[in-house]
Chain A
């Protein structure tokens, strides 16, 4: 079997795996959890500086369903470009700007709290080399969230409490051909109920901090085999866990249009994710096995993502989008 055939088989197996596995997982006992797969699939949600870091418009859906808790996230981002008529004998040229834009709409039902939000993100990229192969990017995301609390679960003081609150995220991101690092903070304004004396039923919103850094190690160029070890550190103002519990080492392996990876946590969780990119759309799944403790049963988490890459490569250089 030649390499091309092998890759086709691998692709089919992974694709079947991605689509079938959620049905196994949904039979398991579930616990409420916020979606975290956007850390993997749509990182520009937690760091607006990443918005528009690809040369194509991408729209994605992340969704998690677990009992009476579920979350859906619809997001998109693109790099601003302009089509120029160019040379007389040449097709039009796509000229990229140093600006990226993005946005998202999300709905997050987490136990007693129901959040519906919308965000708009902007980034500005400063190329660090003549040939624009690395850049430093700054980003900001403005958002508004409408929160309601389930009146059956909260006391009379918060019954039918409805709150709209604005917030914003900021981020900085360095991108190189074999190294990347980013730092961001989300929900800068924090919880809108700060002055509330009854903090038992606070809106589950707090300022969060994300730091990510990693390397890309080329293992084989002919088959585009790349290993990407990285780390994602997540902390929040309300973090009560040990600092080490916030460190998530991540390893990804890319093979052409496939990606498979795992995320370790010293908190005892272990996760796997897979993703496959077609020229014009991508699919992915994220699984997490929680640690068995007195409070949490050994229940897996499943989230999946589906996305469309509109105009895969505006430069017309390749039909295949990049990661």
Chain B
């Protein structure tokens, strides 16, 4: 009788456990930082959050993948595909970089990436500054056999057309008879992670980091034995939260190269975790990259371990179901909420020079660093579990209005009427065309954008503050909520001011 009772109890418990697994989101639990760390160990559950589908685009060597660029991707293709004529009728052609928008998993029209000079380097092995005006890429210099990292700048040519101008020499640290490849920039553009077999490598290709200090890139540091093994680690990628993704055939995996992620902890990277067989396979899984703008799309390449090395591109998307959860990027799925980094704020000020109206950043950096240290950690919702965040740059305003939000009124209503008044706003968008953006919603609050025209472009801001500190807070919220490029602008008597004193 006791045995029968025990068996019955066991069966009941088993049924309860199994049914809890069947019930979709119930199994999901957030970690202390809203991460999905529990989920990523479970492929079945991971399927509920991300979609992985093959993408119709041929990967052409020497590329092994693609890279996100503006609103699309950049990739290598044969030049004959750019013509209106059927490619089957064109004999020649050469490998060339193209970019195309990606809409609903469909690749748009191919546009030449570098119209005035040929650019045919591995596309996954390059990284862009936030303004897309600086490109770090990998190439094998003439008369050399080892690949090095170069910089190219976008500048206007004599006909005022935008042209890609590569530097003649590689980065300073690319010394010796070693490979330096796959650069990836941190969101503050202060760290460059890359793969190399340089001196100090544990074995094969290792991941290194170089920091931008004193106007130049520092001597690279090995990321350590936690990440690097005696085999190869390469294809590093840093998402907007500086979480690291890379491929390794030395860390435990499903076979060949697997993709791993390592969470950024503010100063370095945690122990890497395999992205599970939802992403990885027995073949080589390489060149993982996430769209830094929306964080909802990623690509990676699966390479057959055959002699020919056929490659298939895969697209990873955030599933619609996650809209019900507090997840709005693939980074969250894989690594949870970002860890606040003060240095990120510091550096991101330096993307402002793209507007050529840049102020002297050094004192500003110091000021903001100082101000930032005063900001309570929960003020920006970093440690606090955030409320539902609904951000959409494309959804119609009507849809946004459906969210239960509280509209924040500007703290100052008529700045223009006051004299010698300094107003700080958070600029989150710059456009050559007028945008009919009625409101944006951050952390459940609605903000009415303020538009001003400056240096030939429409610029959109939110918030109005008479002191810098609350502006810093709002800037931080913007950056965590899908506007990584947001920064503070100052207005004096309702006119944009670049006076460095205003930021002290």
Contact = CB atoms under 8 A, between A and B. Distances in A.
Given A54-B91, A87-B181, A218-B86, A177 B80 contact: yes
Given A86-B62, A91-B308, A91-B309, A178 B85 contact: yes
Contacts of B309: 91
A204 to B, nearest CB: 33
A223 B504 CA distance: 64
A323 B118 contact: no
Contacts of B96: 131
A151 interface: no
Interface residues of A, number: 39
Contact of B88 (A91, A178, A316, A323): A323
Interface in A224-266: 224-226, 254, 256
B86 A175 contact: no
Contacts of B286: 89
A132 B94 CA distance: 6
A316 B308 contact: yes
Contacts of A226: 85-86, 88-89
B401 interface: no
B304 to A, nearest CB: 10
Given A221-B86, A322-B87, A131 B179 contact: no
B90 A315 contact: no
B235 A89 contact: yes
B501 interface: no
A305 to B, nearest CB: 19
A88 B91 contact: no
B249 to A, nearest CB: 11
* Central interface residue in B89, B138, B309, by most chain A CB within 10 Å: B89
Interface string A130-144: 111111000000000
How many interface residues does chain B have, given as a range? 35 or more
Interface in B350-373: none
Given A89-B234, A177-B80, A322-B87, A316 B61 contact: yes
Interface on chain B toward A: helix, strand, loop, or mixed SS?
A: loop
Contacts of B205: 88-89
Contacts of A135: 92
Contact of B91 (A55, A86, A90, A218): A55
B37 interface: no
Interface in A298-323: 315-318, 320, 322-323
Nearest to B309: A91
B62 A224 contact: no
A218 B85 contact: yes
Contacts of B63: 90
Interface string A119-136: 000000101001111110
B92 A216 contact: no
A133 B82 CA distance: 10
B480 interface: no
B378 to A, nearest CB: 43
Interface in A75-100: 85-93, 96
Contact of B61 (A88, A93, A131, A224): A93
B93 interface: yes
Interface of A: 53-55, 85-93, 96, 125, 127, 130-135, 175, 177-178, 216, 218, 221, 224-226, 254, 256, 315-318, 320, 322-323
Given A86-B140, A87-B147, A317-B58, 7 more contacts: A88-B179, A131-B79, A132-B79, A177-B90, A218-B84, A316-B60, A318-B58
